[in-house]
Amino acid sequence: MNLLRKSLLPVSAVLMCMMPVMLPHRAAAAVYGPTLTSPVTPSRLTGVDGFIPRWSLLEPIPVNGLTEAEVQAMAKKQWFPDEYTVIPKDGQTEAVGDATKTWHAVDTRLYNVNLYHFAYSLKKPTSNVLFWAVTIVNAPEEMHDVRLAIGSNAASVWWVNGEEVVGIYNDRQTTIDDGVSKRLTLKKGPNVVRAAVVNAGGATDFCARFLDANGKPVKGLTITLSEPK
């Protein structure tokens, strides 16, 4: 696994400025542990490995359970308004019960997004928690028969353009392409990918990419956190 991470690092570190979108509100890059920073460019491209390197993450919500029934119930519960449609801005807050949770824009320098680093750096709990994650995948053209391929520690449920497409459950490590959706179509332009990741204890992270009709990673997708004006 360490060898894999080293080999993927140069690819996922590629930065590109392609689209006229808003920059994050922070003047300097925030750091979320050893692997995550706030974005300093308007967009990033997926590299040859296809992994999506930029996400908006909501601070963790306390939950309990990892079975399919438990995680599906968590994913269907309305924790905050517009949880299936919100395109959050960096620093935006949500009222979750009596608590206020903040969205954070992050870039990862690895293939995966380390939620343990994220929560720990914010002095938030890392165990028995639910993370919401959102990103926008801008496709240069309509793409048919692609699949969203994900891995997560632990369980997770995923949506593309509002449709639930894949879920994996129970206590598990992040494995590349652990869960793979049915064939779907990415429309030309922005496509919203949303995830709910649930951790019980210990490390927690996820990775996601699109595979083409031949099972190859889709590279050259432009990743942003807001839709183009």
Residue 150 Cβ vs another protein, minimum distance, rounded to whole Å: 9
Q: How many chain residues are in contact with another protein, going by CB under 8 A? A: 13
Residue 183 Cβ vs another protein, minimum distance, rounded to whole Å: 7
Cβ contacts of 26 within 8 Å, gap of 6 or more = 38, 90, 91
CA nearest to 55, candidates 71, 69, 38: 38
Residue 140 Cβ vs another protein, minimum distance, rounded to whole Å: 25
Query: What type of residue is 103?
Result: W
Binding positions for another protein, 140-179, rule CB under 8 A: 147, 149, 151, 166, 168, 175, 177-179
8 A C-beta contact, residue 155 and residue 168: yes
Binding positions for another protein, 192-221, rule CB under 8 A: 215
Nearer to another protein, 61 or 146 (CB): 146
Alpha helices in 68-171 (DSSP H): 68-76, 115-121
Does 16 participate in binding another protein (rule CB under 8 A)?
no
Does 70 participate in binding another protein (rule CB under 8 A)?
no
Nearer to another protein, 61 or 166 (CB): 166
Place of tokens 């909501």: 58
8 A C-beta contact, residue 182 and residue 194: no
| Residue from 183, 187, 188, 216 in contact with another protein (CB under 8 A) | 183
CA nearest to 132, candidates 75, 74, 195, 174: 195
Does 182 participate in binding another protein (rule CB under 8 A)?
yes
Nearer to another protein, 107 or 178 (CB): 178
Q: Are strands 205-211 and 113-114 parallel, antiparallel or unpaired?
A: antiparallel
In the complex, the residues that contact another protein under the rule CB under 8 A are 147, 149, 151, 166, 168, 175, 177-180, 182-183, 215
